[in-house]
Structures are given as C-alpha cells and as structure tokens.
A and B are shown apart, each in its own frame.
Chain A
C-alpha cells in the first residue's frame, strides 16, 4: 500500500486524485473549532516531534493495511498556528470498496490520537 505522509506548517490542500481500480475514497478533515474549553478562540497551535510522528504514522498505516486492504493513504497534518475553520489534518484512503476505506480511516484516526507525537500546545 502506498502511504504519503507529510507534516508541515502550510495550509492543507485537498486532493482530487483518483487511483485506477479504486472505487472508494474515504476523506477526513479535522477542522479547528471556534471554541476551546468553553471560550472563543482564533485558532490552535500544534507542535510535532516531526521525524518520529511521520514514522509512527507510516507504521500505523502499514499495520492497518494488513487488516483492511487499501491501495493508498494520504495523511497531511499541519503544525504551527491553525486558524479556526481550517484543517489541522486531512486523511484520504483509497480502496477498491468503501468498507475497507471507512474501516481503515476510522481506526487510523483512533490510533493517531493515542500514538502519534503531535500536540495541541495552545490557543490564541
């Protein structure tokens, strides 16, 4: 399975790519909400242990690919300041059928939030 992983401080860009043989693309965007702990915010600040975070993401994708056969996964996570309404993470999962794509995407996000060394470190 092909995995494209990127962590950087630029706004995230949607992909409209399709892969021959794949009938499903499951797409997730994690958007910064306008409120944190009950107060209005302008955005969130993220930091990452970048080389490790990218390797942990690749490892999770590879392990999940054993259970949920998919063709390609794209994970882009933004760090630095992310304004309200913009995406902190975009994940695309390409698969032959929707079942594997949804399953891998859901489990990937669960594991990201447990294992990948990325943190929300503050608000503005």
Chain B
C-alpha cells in the first residue's frame, strides 16, 4: 500500500515538490507521521508547530490514526479570501 502526501504553499516551497508517495504497511499515528516526515525532509521542521495535517481531506487531531493508503496533506496556515 502507498500513502500519498500532498504539499501546499510554504510546505511545497520547502519540500521542493507538491506530491510524493510512501510505501506503507500499517497505520501511523500523527506523531509517528511527523517523525517520519521530518526524518525524510528536515527542511520542513519550521512548519511543525504551525502546520496542520489533513487525512483523506479531513483535519486530523492528535489522536487520528492515519491508514496506510491515506491521502495526507500538509496544511500550512491558510490565507484565502
């Protein structure tokens, strides 16, 4: 199975791309996801405190378990309107 990771705005700038996939076999906690993410992309560390995660297009909480086939989006502070 593969987890699809989407990057927007400042997250896309720092990551250097807008989308990637991770091979994944088991659900991840939000904390474990961030640990994996920042190991792969330490340049995203400044976003950790301000950035929310969306899992399958719904905002995650600290208790959310991320399925291994999920679409996960990094949501930096929004600025629409």
Chain A residues proximal to chain B, CB less than 8 Å: 30, 46-49, 51-53, 55, 77, 88-89, 109, 112-121
Contact = CB atoms under 8 A, between A and B. Distances in A.
A119 B73 contact: no
Interface string B48-68: 000000100111000000000
Contacts of A53: 80
Given A52-B57, A52-B73, A117-B73, A47 B9 contact: yes
Contacts of B57: 49, 51-52, 55
A84 to B, nearest CB: 16
Nearest to B80: A118
Given A117-B54, A121-B9, A49 B75 contact: yes
B78 interface: yes
A17 B75 CA distance: 35
Contact of A49 (B73, B79, B81): B73
B75 A117 contact: yes
Interface in B8-24: 8-9
Most chain A CB neighbours (cut-off 10 Å) among B75, B78, B80: B80
